[in-house]
Amino acid sequence: MFIKPYGDTSNDGAVQLSFTLPVKNCGRAKEAARLYVQKLGFQKVDVVHAAALSEEFTFFVAYGKTETGIDYDKVEYAEAVDKYMSMDEINEFIKTNFKRKLVIIGACTGTDAHTVGIDAIMNMKGYNHHFGLERYPMIEALNMGSQVPNEKILAKAKELKADAVLVSQIVTQKDVHIKNLTELIELAEAEKMRGKTLLVMGGPRVNNKLAKELGYDAGFGTGTYAEHVATFVVKKLYERMTSKK
């Protein structure tokens, strides 16, 4: 199936753009913006708004139509989990299949101090009426908080014999998160933890594809709740346990 953006008619290819150019706001600047959008491959370009941000910068809103389409059938993307379970189902699943509590620890590692993501997944209260892992009777959850060194979280994982480690990264300026996430994988490799303890990463600019590329078992982005992560963890652990037998 070949698809194109939908504005108000099938396949019209309408796209909305906004951007800033480093020039003073004037007629010439607006024309430059129009030509620039055209150079991006858009046709019927309309620069509908221009505003001076300072004497040296102008902000534009523009519309354009594109001829470019994409074959949707050829797009490949593996979701971490096909179907999610609820909190109760997850607890039952653990009781039935593991007959013990699972241990999950999480933190914002490296220099990242933004715990809003890991808190949403781990803390009792959860986020948006989705309880966090601390609330799960069959999960022993420990949130180590912000700015935890990678060595420290792995040491804690060993000490508690953690089944899964969740790493949250919010600050992604200049790809600082990639460096830190890679370091953690290398340390886990050195400690021979990969393949045993599940390593899961999360953050607003993170997805499952990136996680796999970096060597994690899964990655979760915006819109993730505790039950999503927990479903992945229990299913993956179960899969490993049963394939070993």
**Residues assigned a catalytic role:** 125
Q: Which of residues 121-180 bind other proteins (CB under 8 A)?
A: 123-125, 128, 145-147, 171-174, 176
Q: How far is the CB of 169 from other proteins (least distance, A)?
A: 11
Residue nearer to other proteins on the CB measure, 124 or 241: 124
R_g (Cα) of the chain, nearest Å = 23
Residue nearer to other proteins on the CB measure, 143 or 197: 143
For the chain, the residue count is 245
Contact 144, 153 (CB under 8 A): yes
Q: How far is the CB of 186 from other proteins (least distance, A)?
A: 20
Q: Return the amino acid letter for 179.
A: K
Long-range contacts of 184-189, Cβ-Cβ distance < 8 Å, separation of 24 or more: 184/109, 184/150, 184/153, 184/154, 185/214, 185/215, 185/216, 187/150, 187/151, 187/154, 188/154, 189/215
Q: Which of residues 68-87 bind other proteins (CB under 8 A)?
A: none
Which range touches other proteins (CB under 8 A), out of 65-73, 97-105, 106-114, 184-192? 106-114
Residue nearer to other proteins on the CB measure, 98 or 176: 176
Applying CB under 8 A, does 57 fall inside the site for other proteins?
A: yes
Q: Return the amino acid letter for 147.
A: Q
Contact 171, 178 (CB under 8 A): no
Q: Which of 39, 72, 192, 223 binds other proteins (CB under 8 A)?
A: 223
What is the rounded distance in angstroms from the CA atom of residue 26 to the CA atom of residue 47?
13
User: Within a 13 Å sphere around the CA of 205, how many CA atoms are in the beta-carbon half?
Assistant: 11
Q: How far is the CB of 176 from other proteins (least distance, A)?
A: 4
Q: How far is the CB of 225 from other proteins (least distance, A)?
A: 13
Q: Which of 3, 204, 214, 238 binds other proteins (CB under 8 A)?
A: 204
Residue nearer to other proteins on the CB measure, 74 or 174: 174
Q: Is the dihedral of CA 209, 212, 213, 219 positive or negative?
A: positive
Query: For residue 89, what are the contacts with CB-CB under 8 A and spacing of at least 6?
Result: none
Binding footprint of other proteins, residue count (CB under 8 A): 33
Q: How far is the CB of 161 from other proteins (least distance, A)?
A: 23
Task: Give 99-110 as a DSSP string.
Answer: SS-EEEEEEEBT
Would you tell me which residues interact with other proteins (CB under 8 A)? Answer: 18-20, 51, 53-57, 59, 110-113, 115-116, 119, 123-125, 128, 145-147, 171-174, 176, 204-205, 222-223
